[in-house]
């Protein structure tokens, strides 16, 4: 089996200890993860943890089986990213001399990004998309002086399966 981008989506109780346990398991089992993102869901008390990994299907499925055994995990599933939608949010603080502002705004527009702050220290650009898209935009911004980058890590939803409904039974 060849490695491909896999998303492992986990619904868990929104308590630090549960998150700690889930992340500890990933470290312990030495899973090839690329990013982690966690946030609330539509169900009060439940968080969704999205783990992106570059692996074969069997490795992702094994991660799911281990996660499903944990107390506090309500449901987990894995899917190749081609079977779902993935998005990442990034904030990029850029500095550019006055005379290059027009050029910078062109890049922002090209990537459907938004200028969200314009302060003395630089401009903050907000952009979102797939990881590849976000990386490509950051590379484009590197033509200017990139001061700081904050990225959310990728979140994902499968198009075929619905994890949330599995927890309502």
Partner 1 sequence: MTETLTGSQILCRALLEEGVDVLFGYPGGAIMPFYHALPEFPGLRHVLVRHEQAAAHAADGYARASGRAGVCVATSGPGATNLVTGLATAHMDSTPVVAITGQVSRAMMGRDAFQETDIIGITQPITKHSRLIEDVEEIAEAVREAFYVAQEGRPGPVLLDIPKDVQNQKTEWNEGTRERGNPPTARPSIVPSFHRSALEEAARLIAEAQRPLIMAGHGVVLAGAYAELRVLAERTGIPVITTLLGISGFPESHPLHLGMPGMHGEVHVNRAIQQSDLILGLGLRFDDRVTGNLAGFARGAKLIHIELDPSEISKNVPAAIALVGDVRDVLCSLLPAVAPRNCESWRREIAGFVRPREESFRAGLSPQAILDAIDDATNGQCTIVSDVGQHQMWVAKLYRYQRPNSHITSGGLGTMGFAVPAAMGVALARPSEPVWAISGDGGFQMNMQEMATMVQERIPVKMAVFNNGYLGMVRQWQQFFHGKRYSATPIWSPDYVRLAGAYGITGHRVESAEQLDDAVRAAAAEPGPALVEFMIEQEANVFPMIPPGGSLSEPIEGAPLVSA
CA atoms within 13 A on the CB side of 113: 31
Examine residue 45 and tell whether it contacts partner 1 (CB under 8 A): no
Examine residue 58 and tell whether it contacts partner 1 (CB under 8 A): yes
d(CA 117, CA 123): 6
**Is the Cβ–Cβ distance between 49 and 38 less than 8 Å?**
yes
Which residues, 71 to 110, sit near partner 1 by CB under 8 A?
A: 71-72
Examine residue 65 and tell whether it contacts partner 1 (CB under 8 A): yes
Among 69, 100, 139, 143, binds partner 1 (CB under 8 A): 69
Examine residue 20 and tell whether it contacts partner 1 (CB under 8 A): yes
d(CA 146, CA 37): 23
Q: Please choose, out of 21-29, 92-100, 110-118, 147-155, the segment that lies near partner 1 by the rule CB under 8 A.
A: 21-29
């Amino acid at each position: 089996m060849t490695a491909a981008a896999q998303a492992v989506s986990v619904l868990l109780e929104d308590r630090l200890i549960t998150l700690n346990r889930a992340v500890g398991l990933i470290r312990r089992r030495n899973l090839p993860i690329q990013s982690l993102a966690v946030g609330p869901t539509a169900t009060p008390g439940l968080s969704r943890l999205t783990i992106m990994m570059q692996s074969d299907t069997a490795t992702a499925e094994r991660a799911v089986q281990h996660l499903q055994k944990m107390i506090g995990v309500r449901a987990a599933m894995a899917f190749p990213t081609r079977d779902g939608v993935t998005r990442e949010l990034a904030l990029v603080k850029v500095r550019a001399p006055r005379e290059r502002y027009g050029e910078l705004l062109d890049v922002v527009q090209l990537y459907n990004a938004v200028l969200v702050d314009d302060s003395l220290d630089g401009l903050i650009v907000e952009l979102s998309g797939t990881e590849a898209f976000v990386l490509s935009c950051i590379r484009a911004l590197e033509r200017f002086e990139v001061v700081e980058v904050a990225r959310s890590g990728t979140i994902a939803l499968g198009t075929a399966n619905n994890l949330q409904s599995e927890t309502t039974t």
